[in-house]
Amino acid sequence: MPEVFEPKIVAFFCNWCTYLAADLAGTSRIKHAPNARVIRVMCSGRVDPQFVLDAFAKGADGVLIGGCHPGDCHYQEGNYKALRRVALLRRLLKQMGIEEERFRLEWISAAEGERVKTVINDMVEKLRALGPRVQPVRKEVA
Amino acid sequence: MSEAGGAVRIGVYICHCGANIAATVDVKSLAASAATMPNVVVWREYKYLCSDSGQDLIRQDIPNQRLNRIVVASCSPHLHEQTFRAAVAAAGLNPFYLQMVNIREHISWVHENRMEATSKAQDLLRAAVRRVARHEALERSRIPIHPDVLVVGGGIAGIHAALTLANAGKHVYLVERQPTIGGHMAQFDKTFPTLDCAACILTPKMSAVKAHQKITLWTYSEVVQVDGYVGSYQVTVKRRTRYVREDLCTGCLECLEACLYQEGRFTDEFNAGLASRKPIYIPFPQAVPQVPVIDPEACIQFKSGKCKKTCIDACGDRHAISFQLEEKTEEIQVGSIIVATGFQVFDARRAPYYGYGVYPDVYTALEVERLVNASGPTAGEVVLRDGRIPKTVGIVHCVGSRDENTNRWCSRVCCMYSLKLAHLIKERTGAEVFNFYIDIRTPGKGFEEFYQKLLNEKVHFIRGRVAEVTDWALDPTEEGKLILRVEDTLAGLVRRIPVDMVVLSVGLEPRSDAQDVCRMFNMTCSGEGFFTERHPKLAPVNTFADGVFLAGCCQGPKDIPDTVAQAGAAAAEALVLIDSGSIETEPNTAYTDEDVCSGCKTCIPLCPYHAITFLEQEKKARINQATCKGCGTCVAACPSGSIRQHLFEDEQIFEEIEGILTYA
């Protein structure tokens, strides 16, 4: 039987919405794929693009950022700052040959335990379809 | 001895949480893997780490094993981070040398495969072990608590919380949107299951609020903006005008008599639309404050400018009425806030199969509350809109509750108020009363006994969800009646019950503007709009906004005793804050390394709290530690990497990433 590819996802969840949503998924026993590893930050606005690049450089198959819904940020507008950075970062990742599906920003409120499951399961499915990351090979110039 | 000095020595503690974790995560192999991780010198697993004996392991190991870093793999840091920080501090180590790994909520409760769960736990543990090595000793700062409290909402929850605080000598601002306090409870006649008179227990509390020296009561007012943080909230309150000055009005109500309208012509909201009021009115005779309101939508003077202004004449030399009065804005400073904004009843039109708004003899329970009320539109007579006294009454339970198509939750009070209304209707009219129910839920003190009493009173109970209410008679006995079509699930047959009056036991739901209120106070709420408590069991009146507490049905449906208990608890939480005088803050603030700062000013506009100032002389940015709330947005944005964040340093997060992916 061929082994199923298990992608590893590094997830940056904000303390007030998405981290709590993941806690709620726990207390509600909402089973989901075990592929995401959560790093807690106070706000999605804290996610430095370098964290994302570093995760990909070290072999993450996907990176997920979870923040509060627009307008609901615990710090008023940190999630908008995250959104702006993500837009730029997407273009950079594309140039580096990292497929779009590998990097996601999702708004998940503290009440949306179910959505933690949906997002993670969906991402795992897409990453499985994509397969492991292929490291770009530097071509030697003659 | 310097804690951080010398080699890093980490103790790893893995909690079984009974079987909560141990059933899914192989805690033994997790502990064994901890042994292979860098700088780990002690690794233990224990049944319940949060217990005193569990904490004791940590407290003893710190001096005995010379530990200077602690990793606890157990539940969410939102639950027990403070517990373990205190244990670490008790052993003389700076509490911020602790890192928690959430292997319960994020692993054992959401995954099934033991191998996968354990492997994920190992990754997260490795991340924490690497991270904690980079931790530094931090000091908490204290911020003072302003002793005044804002209570939002003047129903029984807000009234009880305000009185409790005021009786403890604290100054309270009580803000109510309606022209009177009292809330929904003021509309009720009797309360279940004791059948004591709602007015007799509520109105004395209302007048106590008005009379209390320590309470500033602002009715007809709304909180429109909240700034600041625990201990120091700046609140803006919009005070609508009644066109009657509260300081001059004596409450003689002669203006009401003098109004050109002899009879009421406009919808009386307090009487659930069953009566009419004049353009100048007080909501009900016992309203607090006893000051009339002029409704500019209805008043002739506002509409045409051609009224004889008989109200002003009646007021005479008191000069309390003025059409020129304008709304005011008040700015207040408070240290804590109690949100008690209540509920709204389900709009029965959303269940069109029950014919509310189509058949005049279909009522909502709130309307019947007014009908049975001695001070209601019929002075307590239960009569239909055409004046007939109903001989048969059908009460439909769970309208807008426990229903996939409307609201899924149980509203908790409907069974009991339906029983109460059944009793009162039978008492007043002698009518035959049918209850149509899914389950009868009577879990409160004296509730089941009340249900038995109703059974003895020969009230009928039919188990089954009513399919529809119709006036389509199939035989002469049904002519002129409303017919309830229902499957009687105990008798196992479909029945048609003709009645004169249908009462819909409408459920409780969040107010339609709950999401906006939630945002204003920086709380969180469920998808439906009930405000979320910090912890369902251990912090039931706290919210995720420090210094903001919950009371009453805005948090979820509940009856009057539970509401009053919760309001008292919320007041107690506010008192704890006030009497401790100050609160410790989480030291997760951002700070600049001024040697590295290039003075580019990128960070300045990013801060929503204006915590970053630019030092013109030095050409450096500096972050005010008192106003920084620790979101870290500036940290992520700083191009020179000169802004850093305590507890969330770049190096710490890079270590986590490294730890997670080491064996990827």
Question: Domain for residue A4, yes or no?
Answer: no
| CATH number of the B590-646 domain | 3.30.70.20
Using an 8 Å CB-CB cutoff, list chain A residues near B650. Answer: 48, 50
**C-alpha angle B445-B402-B185 in degrees, rounded to nearest 5:** 50
pLDDT of A71: 86
Tokens representing residue B527 in the block: 């998808």
Does B110 sit within 8 Å of A16, measured CB to CB?
no
Q: Kindly state the tokens that stand for A104.
A: 């996601």
Amino acid at site B255: C
DSSP string, B485-512: EEEETTTTEEEEEEESEEEEEE-EEE-T
Q: What is the arithmetic mean of pLDDT over A117-130?
A: 97
* More confident call, A1 vs B658: B658
The fold for domain B10-138 equals Rossmann fold (3.40.50)
User: What residue numbers bound the domain in which A51 lies?
Assistant: 9-130
**pLDDT at residue number B527:** 84
- The residue-averaged pLDDT of B519-544 equals 92
Give the contacts of B134 (CB within 8 A, at least 6 positions apart). B649, B651, B652, B655
Separation CA B582–CA B125 (nearest Å): 35
Which of B414, B408, B317 has its CA nearest to residue B365? B414
A142 CA: distance to closest CA in chain B (Å): 34
Q: pLDDT band for position B30 (50/70/90)?
A: very high
Domain spans, chain B? 10-138, 150-186+195-240+329-342+513-584, 254-318, 343-509, 590-646
- How many angstroms separate the CA atoms of B613 and B632, rounded? 16
In a domain, residue A137? The reply is no
What average pLDDT is seen over chain B?
95
Which fold does the domain B343-509 belong to in CATH? Answer: FAD/NAD(P)-binding domain (3.50.50)
- Is the Cβ–Cβ distance between B126 and B37 less than 8 Å? yes
CB contact under 8 A, B110 and A111: no
Q: For residue B100, what is the nearest residue in chain A, using CA coordinates?
A: A40
Q: pLDDT (tens digit, 9 = 90+) per residue, A14-58?
A: 999 999 999 999 999 999 999 999 999 999 999 999 999 999 999
Query: Mean pLDDT, to the nearest integer, of B535-545?
Result: 92
Please compute the mean of the pLDDT values over residues B76-89 and round it to a whole number. 96
The sign of the CA dihedral B406, B408, B413, B419 is positive
What pLDDT score was predicted for residue B508?
Answer: 98
Query: Mutate which of B105, B542, B638 to test chain A, going by most A C-beta atoms within 10 A?
Result: B105
The residue-averaged pLDDT of B578-606 equals 95
Asked whether B3 and B59 are in contact (CB, 8 A), the reply is no
Interface probe with A: pick from B99, B544, B589, B661, most Cβ of A within 10 Å = B661
Per-residue pLDDT at B1 exceeds 60:
no
Find the CATH number of the domain harbouring A75: 3.40.50
pLDDT tens digits for range B341-389: 999 999 999 999 999 999 999 999 999 999 999 989 999 999 999 999 9
Count the residues in chain B: 664
Domain assignment of residue A86, yes or no:
yes
Partners of B112 on chain A (C-beta within 8 Å) are 31
What is the nearest CA distance from B527 to chain A, expressed in angstroms?
6
Instruction: Determine the average pLDDT of the residues in B223-242.
Output: 95
A80 touches chain B (CB under 8 A): no
* Contact at CB, A111 and B117, closer than 8 angstroms: no
Neighbours of A82 (CB within 10 A): 28
Query: Which one of A9, A43, A86 would you mutate to disrupt binding with B, by most B Cβ within 10 Å of its Cβ?
Result: A43
Radius of gyration of chain B (CA): 31
Closest by CA position to A47, among listed A101, A86, A8, A97: A86
* Residue A46 within any structural domain of the chain: yes
CA B590 to CA B440: how far, in whole Å? 55
d(CA B206, CA B182): 7
At residue B664, does pLDDT exceed 60?
A: no
Residue B575, min C-alpha distance to chain A (Å): 25
Closest by Cα among B366, B359, B397, B399 to B500: B359
Locus of tokens 């005779």: B285
- The answer, for A95 touching chain B at a CB cutoff of 8 Å, is no
β-partners of residue B433 are: B393
DSSP string, B227-250: EEETTEEEEEEEE---SB-TTT--
d(CA B629, CA B526): 25
What is the three-class DSSP state of B192? coil
Band of the pLDDT at B446, cuts 50, 70, 90? very high
Q: Which of residues 14-73 of A touch B (CB under 8 A)?
A: 16-17, 19-20, 22-23, 25-27, 29-32, 34, 37-43, 45-51, 54-55, 58-60, 71-72
Answer yes or no: is pLDDT of B2 > 80.
no
Amino acid at site B395: I
Task: Answer whether residue B223 shows pLDDT above 60.
Answer: yes
> In a mutagenesis test of the B interface, which of A81, A102, A117, A133 is the best target, namely the one with the most B β-carbons within 10 Å?
A81
Cβ–Cβ gap B608/A81 under 8 Å: no
pLDDT at A4: 87
CB atoms within 10 A of CB B551: 32
**How does B62-101 read in b/e, with b if 16+ C-beta sit within 10 Å?**
beeeebbbbbbbbbbbbbbbebbbebbeebebbbbbbbbb
Geometric angle at alpha carbon B410, from A113 and B192, rounded to 5°: 145
The three-state secondary structure class of B460 is strand
Peptide bond preceding B147: is omega within 30 degrees of 0, i.e. cis?
no
* Cβ atoms < 10 Å from Cβ of B395: 31
Q: Would you say domain B150-186+195-240+329-342+513-584 falls under CATH 3.40.30.10?
A: no
* A118-128 mean pLDDT: 98
Q: How far out from the chain centre does Cα B226 lie? A: 16
Q: Which of A27, A58, A111 sits opposite B524 (nearest CB)?
A: A111
| Chain B nearest CA to A11, separation (Å) | 10
What single-letter amino acid sits at B180?
T
Q: Which two tokens stand for residue A44?
A: 């999605």
Please give the pLDDT value at position B58: 97
Query: Average pLDDT in the B465-470 region?
Result: 97
Single-letter code of the amino acid located at A111: A
Q: What integer is the mean pLDDT of B208-227?
A: 97
The band of B291, judged by pLDDT with boundaries at 50, 70 and 90, is very high
Percent of chain B beyond pLDDT 90?
A: 95
CA separation for the pair B567, B552 (Å, rounded): 7
Nearest chain B CA: its distance from A25 CA (Å): 7
Mean pLDDT of A109-128: 96
Residue A141: pLDDT above 70? no
Give me the count of residues in chain A: 142
- What is the C-alpha separation between A79 and A81, in angstroms, rounded? 5
Q: Is-contact A10 A60, C-beta < 8 A?
A: yes
Report the residue from B106, B124, B526 with minimal CB separation from A111. Answer: B526
> Residue-wise over B294-325: b if at least 16 C-beta within 10 A, else e?
bbeebbebeeeeebebebbebbeeeebbebee
Report pLDDT for B5. 58
Beta bridge partner(s), residue B154: none
Question: Is any Cβ of chain B less than 8 angstroms from the Cβ of A9?
Answer: no
**With an 8 Å Cβ cutoff, are B654 and A54 in contact?**
yes
Is residue A142 scored above 70 in pLDDT? no
Assigned domain for A135 exists:
no
A contacts of B127 (beta carbons < 8 Å): 37, 39
Asked if residue A122 belongs to a domain, the reply is: yes
Q: In this complex, how many residue pairs, one in chain A and one in chain B, have their CB atoms less than 8 Å apart? A: 141
Q: Establish if A142 belongs to a structural domain.
A: no
DSSP readout, B33-93?
A: HHHTSTTEEEEEEES-TTSHHHHHHHHHHHHHTT--EEEEEES-HHHHHHHHHHHHHHTTS
Q: What is the Cβ-side half-sphere exposure of residue B632, based on CA atoms within 13 angstroms?
A: 23
Residue of B nearest to A24 (CA): B105
Token pair 């009421």 in the structure block, residue: B264
Q: Which of residues 497-526 of B touch A (CB under 8 A)?
A: 519, 522, 524-526
pTM, two decimal places: 0.90
pLDDT of residue B561: 97
Is the CB of A88 inside 8 Å of chain B's CB atoms?
A: no
* Least Cα separation, residue B636 to chain A (angstroms): 4
Out of A27, A37, A46, name the one closest to residue B648 (CB): A46
pLDDT tier, A2 (very low <50, low <70, confident <90, very high otherwise): low
Backbone angles phi, psi at B429, to 5 degrees: -115, -15
B212 with B206: CB under 8 angstroms? no
How many other β-carbons are positioned within 10 Å of the β-carbon of residue A105?
20
**Hey, do B150-186+195-240+329-342+513-584 and B343-509 end up sharing a CATH topology, with the first three levels equal?**
yes
Whether A97 is covered by a domain: the verdict is yes
List C-alpha distances in Å: B93 to B10, B67, B78, B131.
Answer: 12, 9, 21, 17
Angstrom distance (rounded) from CA B328 to CA B249 = 18
CB atoms B78 and A23 under 8 Å: yes
Structural domain total, chain A: 1
CA-based nearest residue to B328, from B210, B224, B214, B248: B224
C-alpha distances out from residue B373 to A29, A117, B186, B190, Å: 46, 50, 10, 8
Tell which residue, B183, B181, B224, B182, has the closest CA to residue B327: B224
Cβ atoms of residues B187 and B370 within 8 Å:
yes
Percent of chain B predicted with pLDDT > 70: 99
Q: What is the mean pLDDT of residues A118-138?
A: 90
3-class DSSP state for residue B661?
A: helix
Cβ–Cβ < 8 Å for B402, B414: no
